[in-house]
Structure 1
Amino acid sequence: MKRLLSVFDSTVLTMAGLRIISGCLEITAAILMLTFNDVKKALAVNAMLAIVGPLILIATMSIGLIGLADQLSYSKLLFIGLGVAFILYGIFR
């Protein structure tokens, strides 16, 4: 197993792992909604997911930017950071 994982860049592996965890949380939430079979409880579960989604986005983008930091100029990092800030502004406004 370690040999299989050594093929991937550790940064990419971490980012993919976060996305897999996020996907598992989404599937679990969908199953909970079906299990509860109540609109109020489904909305509560969905509200919890609304918190987790942006956190996963921020964490994944941060890990990716840290992985690229030595390859990009400061101006490019600034533009990427601005892009992420605009995405977050659009999500929360």
Structure 2
Amino acid sequence: MLNKFVMAMVCLRVLSGTIEIIAAFIMFRLNQVDKALLVNSALALVGPIILITTTAIGLVGMADKLSFSKLAWIFLGVSCLFIGILKK
């Protein structure tokens, strides 16, 4: 039997992939750079939301196995990722 946390993470990743593929078809159908860029910009919101949600689900699933110091390191690592991605 699959772990419910793993199943939730898998479902979110499948949803994310499906959204990406649908967006590619929409860009292809629109066939205009400005509209394709708009669709691509919307995807820039979806990616981080899926990342945060999937990571949160994974951490909740592992919370009983992780010490406070390990959780702090994970939080610091995720924070560094976002600083690196969002900082201009």
Q: TM-score of the superposition, structure 1-length normalised? A: 0.91
**1:59 aligns to 2:53 (yes or no):** yes
Percent identical: 51
In the TM superposition, what are the counterparts of 1:1-93 in structure 2 within 5 Å?
A: 7-93=1-87
Which whole-Å CA distance do the structure 2 matches of 1:35 and 1:86 have between them?
Answer: 37
Offset of 1:57 from its aligned partner? 0.2
Q: TM-score of the superposition, structure 2-length normalised? A: 0.97
Which whole-Å CA distance do the structure 2 matches of 1:39 and 1:31 have between them?
Answer: 14
Which whole-Å CA distance do the structure 2 matches of 1:54 and 1:83 have between them?
Answer: 15
Paired amino acid for 1:61: T
Offset of 1:73 from its aligned partner? 0.5
Any stretches of 5+ residues in structure 2 without a counterpart? none
Any stretches of 5+ residues in structure 1 without a counterpart? 1-6
Q: CA RMSD in A?
A: 0.5
| Ranges of 4+ aligned residues in structure 1 off by more than 6 Å | none
